[in-house]
Amino acid sequence: MSSTSYAAVPVPQLKPSAESPTVPVRVPGARYFARSVPFPVLKPKVSVKTRRKPVIVIDPGHGGRDPGAVGAKGTHEKIITTTAAKELAAILRKSGRYTVIMTRTDDSYVDHDDRLRIARSGQADLFISIHADSTGSKSTRGASVYTLADRAKGRSKRIVNNQNWILDVDLTEQTDPVGDILVDLAQRKTESQSDAFAEILLDELEGKTKLVGNSHRRAGYYVLLAPDVPAVLLELGFLSNAQDEKLLKTKRHRNKLTSSVERAIDRYMDTP
């Protein structure tokens, strides 16, 4: 009889529409904790038996001690993001199609690490971080969508190692260079899905609000770093622009934005 021990581990999904049951996976051996650095654990294969609602994680930017950008008329970004995130969550829940998780629901500060952990522990199918932009040019205005920049992928790998994340790849019997290649493959799949959603979202926002030039942008924002959770950061507009600030304070304009996000999520989830 094998002496291998087993533990129950919840299985995250990339873009599933099926329930992932808890299944046994091998407990990490010595290699996982060489030099006290945990390595990623294999995400086990499962048989799909029941349907489940896709999980959407909504992340209101900033909060608590971190007000974010401050508008031309004194509007705090954290107030706009919290309000818009709650309104988006309400729309999605009303549709009945999704399980919705918010990283925060009040004026509190949530560490970036914790925002990612909330998404991963909730087995998120899509992570949307909501922000409002600011710049030194008061004339610049419009919405934009960010996905992860190539230059930030090294940071993503370090987070995988430090947090013992569960991935689609088996690193237990691989050399470190091969493990890096396998993590790269997982990242590419997630990056492709993030980019696909970003383009759909911008298409839905077109005509509903002004878009800034080069509206699909790339950056190394921490909340975009999860290698197995498709993620975007949505900038609703520029609080440094008086017109954008005024619009973002109105529920009517925010409804245009959140309704566009809902339609984009529907289209993305309906894509095979």
- Residue 1 inside a domain? The answer is no
- Residue 125 inside a domain? The answer is yes
- Residue 38 inside a domain? The answer is no
pLDDT band at 181 (very low <50, low <70, confident <90, very high): low
- Residue 265 inside a domain? The answer is yes
Q: How far is CA 188 from the centre of its chain?
A: 15
Mean pLDDT of the 70-79 span: 96
Return the closest-CA partner of residue 231 out of 163, 105, 146. Answer: 146
Lowest mean pLDDT among 166-180, 186-200, 212-226: 166-180
Cβ–Cβ under 8 Å, residues 224 and 145: no
**Separation between Cα atoms, residue 181 and residue 74, nearest integer Å:** 47
Q: Say what percent of the chain tops pLDDT 70.
A: 69
In the beta sheet, which residues pair with residue 6? Answer: 26
Q: What is the pTM of this model?
A: 0.77
Q: How many domains does the chain have?
A: 1
Mind listing the pLDDT tens digit for each residue in 109-166? 999 989 988 998 899 999 999 999 999 999 999 999 999 998 776 665 566 555 545 4
Mind listing the pLDDT tens digit for each residue in 197-213? 999 999 999 999 999 99
- Residue 29 inside a domain? The answer is no
Return the closest-CA partner of residue 231 out of 126, 101, 159, 156. Answer: 126
For residue 50, the domain's CATH number is 3.40.630.40
Residue for token pair 């507009």: 237
- Residue 37 inside a domain? The answer is no
Q: Where are the beta strands (DSSP E) in the chain?
A: 6-9, 23-26, 41-42, 55-60, 99-102, 126-133, 143-148, 166-167, 211-219, 231-238
- Residue 6 inside a domain? The answer is no
Residue for token pair 């790339």: 218
Q: What domain range is 123 assigned to? A: 45-270
- Residue 39 inside a domain? The answer is no
**Separation between Cα atoms, residue 113 and residue 162, nearest integer Å:** 11
Which region holds residue 75: left if phi is over 0, alpha if psi is between -120 and 50, else beta? beta
Distance separating the N- and C-terminal Cα atoms of the chain: 43
